[in-house]
Chains A and B, each alone.
Chain A
Amino acid sequence: MTNKKLFFAFCLSVIATVGLLSFKLIKNDNTVRGHEAVNAGLTLPEGFQAAVIADNLGSSRHLVVTPQGDLYVHLAGTKNGKGILEFHVDGDNATLKSSFANFDGTGIAIKDGYLYASNSREVYRYKLDSQDQVIDPNNPERIVTGLLDRRTHAPKAIALDNDGNLYVNIGAYSNICSEFDPNKTGCPILDSAGGIWQFKADKPDQTYADGIRYATGLRNVVGLAWNQQDNQLFVMQHGRDNLHVLFPNIYTVHQSTELPAECLFALNKGDNAGWPYVYYDWIQHKNMLGPEYGGDGKKLADPKYINPVAAFPGHYAPDGLLFYTGNQFPEKYKNGAFIAFHGSWNRAPEPQAGYCVIFQPFKNGMPDGNWEVFADGFAGTEEQKASGHAVHRPCGLAQGPDGSLYVTDDVKGTIYKITYQK
C-alpha cells in the first residue's frame, strides 16, 4: 500500500516537473524577440512598424516635425539647462542637432515661420529660417505671460489657427472645484482657469487682459489640435476623478473606474463644456449633472453645456491629439484623429488602463464609427500596466513630412516612429 502510494507520488512529481519545464520552455519560446524587436515593444495593426529613434531624453512631452524632417521636442524638466531638443531624422535614426530654451514645458507648435513653445506660465516663439531652423535660440519673443500656475494641471498646451490666433489651455487647479465652491454658488476659478484662452499669435507680452476666454468648463486639456478640414479647434478633456470616493452611495467602485468619459470636444467660441457642474457618461451616452451640484447618477446636465463629439473610457488621460493628413497610412486614417492616452491612475483598486495610442475614424470632419487601439504595449507587461508603474507612457504626437507618425514617451524619454508598408 505504502509503496504504491510512494510510487504514485513519484509519478505525480515527475509529471509536474515535466509539465513545469515544458511550460517554461514554451514561455521562453514566446518571448523570442523577433516580432517585438521590429515593433520596438509595441503592438500595431498589420503592415505598420515602429522603431525607437531616440531614448533616455528626459521627460519628452509634445513634439513637432518640420517639412525637412527635423523634430523639435519639448521636455518637462530641463536637461543640462535646456528645455527643447532638436533632432534630424533620417530613416529610423535621429541625430541630436541642437538643444536650447532655458525653460521646460509641454506645448510646442510651428506656424507661419515661427516655433512656439510654452512653460506653465508663458508662451514664447522663435523665428525660423527658410530651412525651419531657429535663428536666435537665446532670444525668443515672449508672446504670453502671467498665466496661473498652481501646480495641478499646470502645463499650458498650445495650438494655432489659420487666422493669426494662439490657443492656450489653462487647466483648473482642482479636481472638481469643491474647495473653492463650498456653497455651490458657482466655481470661482473659471475666470482664469478651466478653459481655453485665445491670444494673438504675434503680439508680445500679452496677459489675461489681452486674451479671450475662448471656451470654458474644461477641467484640463493637454491634447488639442486645429482641425484643418473643419477650421475648428478640437480638444481632449481629462475628466474628473473620485466619483466613488466622494460619493460612495451613488457610484460603485467600478462605475468610478469607468466614469466619467474622457471627452473629445469640437469647440466654438463661447462654448461651455460644463466642468465642474457636469460630466459625460460614455456608457449611457449622456451628459450628466455632477453629484456636487445635485446629481445622483441619473439626472441629466443642463443642455446649455456642449456634448462631446466622441467619448472614451474614464481616466485614460489624453495627452496628445493629432489629425492625420498624410498619405503614407491606408486611406481610412486620412483626416481621422490619433489620440495618445498617457494612462490612468484613478482606476485603482481595479487595474489601470490606457497607455496606448488610439485611432478615432472621422468622416466629413466629425467622428464616425468606433475608435480602435492603434499602438499598445507602451506600459510593458500586463502587471506593469495594471499597477500603473508603466515603463513608457505615450504623450505627444506629430506627423512627419512623409506621413510617418511620431509618438513621445515622457517616462524614459523615448521617441517612436511608426510607419506603414503595404
Chain B
Amino acid sequence: MKQLRITILIAGLLLMCICVSQAQQKKQVHHTGQSLAAAMARGQAVYTQVCLPCHMADGGGVQNMNPPLVGTTYVLGNKAALIKIVLHGFNEDVEINGNTYSNIMGAHDDLTDRQIADVLTYVRHSFGNKASIVNATEVSKVRAASKK
C-alpha cells in the first residue's frame, strides 16, 4: 500500500513538471500567439457579419455565383490585390478550378483598415488556408494609393 502511494506521488510530481514546462513554452510564444488569436477572433466577427452571407461559413462559396475562398491565389497570393477587392468590390467573372462565378461583390471601403486586416488575416488562416497575416498598415497603404 505504501509503495502504491509513493508511486502515485512520483507520478503526480512528474505530471506537474510536464505541465509547468508546457506552460513556460506557451509563455514564450505568448506575444505573437495572442495577437494572432485576437486578430483571428476580430476577423471572424467581421467575416460573419460581412462575408459569410455570400462566401459561406466554410469559405466554400456558392455554385456559379460566389467564389470559394479556399486554396485560391485570389486569397493566398498578392495581398495588395486582395485588399483592393475588399475595398472596391469585384465586378467580373472569376474562374477558379474550371468553375465560373459571376455575382457582383460590393465595395467594403466602409470597413476600417484594422477590420480589413483582421478579416483578411482570418480568411488567409482559415478553411485550410495558410498564408501570411495582413496588418492595418498594409491596408492603409493600398487605400491611400487607390485614392490618388
Contacts of B52 in A (CB 8 A): 348-349
Q: Say which residue of B56, B65, B106 sits within 8 Å of A387 (CB atoms).
A: B56
Q: Report Cα–Cα, A345/B66, bound state, in Å.
A: 9
B8-31 CB contacts (< 8 Å) to partner A: none
Number of interface residues of B (CB under 8 A): 20
A151 near B62 with CB under 8 A, answer no
Q: With the chains together, A242 CA to B102 CA distance in Å?
A: 17
Size class of the contact patch on chain A:
20 to 34
Q: Provide the residues of chain A in CB contact with B57, threshold 8 Å.
A: 348-349, 387
B58→A387 contact, CB < 8 A: yes
Beta-carbon contacts of A244-284 to B below 8 Å, as 1s and 0s?
11001000000000000000000000000000000000000
A389 pairs with B53, CB closer than 8 A: no
B56, A411: Cβ atoms closer than 8 Å: no
Q: Which of B48, B56, B104, B106 is in CB contact (< 8 Å) with A345? A: B56
Is A39 close to B, CB under 8 A?
Answer: no
Cβ < 8 Å to A, chain B residues 45-85: 48-50, 52-54, 56-58, 60, 62-66
B140 adjacent to chain A (CB < 8 Å): no
* Chain A residues closer than 8 Å to B50, beta-carbon distance: 245
State the majority secondary structure of interface residues on A.
Answer: loop
A321-362 contacts to B (CB < 8 Å):
345-346, 348-349
* Complex partner residue of A151 from B48, B53, B54, B93, CB under 8 angstroms: B93
Number of contacts between A and B (CB, 8 Å)? 44
Per-residue contact bits, chain B 86-111, to A (CB 8 Å; 1 contact, 0 not): 00000001000000001110100000
Q: Are B93 and A345 in contact (CB under 8 A)?
A: no
Partner of B102, one of A152, A179, A349, A387: A152
Interface assignment of A217: CB less than 8 Å from any CB of chain B: no
Distance in angstroms between the alpha carbons of A248 and B53 in the assembled complex = 13
Contacts of B102 in A (CB 8 A): 151-152, 154
A411 to B53, CA, bound (A): 21
Residues of B within 8 A of A174 (CB): 104
Q: Which residues of chain A are near B48, meaning CB under 8 Å?
A: 349
A244 to B50, CA, bound (A): 10
Given A151-B104, A241-B53; 14 other pairs, CB 8 A cutoff: A151-B102, A179-B106, A242-B53, A245-B50, A248-B49, A345-B54, A345-B66, A348-B52, A348-B53, A348-B56, A349-B48, A349-B52, A349-B57, A388-B62
A selection of 18 A-B contacts at a CB cut-off of 8 Å is: A151-B102, A151-B104, A152-B102, A152-B103, A152-B104, A173-B104, A174-B104, A179-B104, A179-B106, A242-B53, A248-B49, A345-B56, A345-B65, A346-B53, A346-B54, A348-B52, A387-B60, A389-B60
Residues of A at the B interface (CB closer than 8 Å) are 76, 151-152, 154, 173-174, 179, 241-242, 244-245, 248, 345-346, 348-349, 387-389, 393, 411
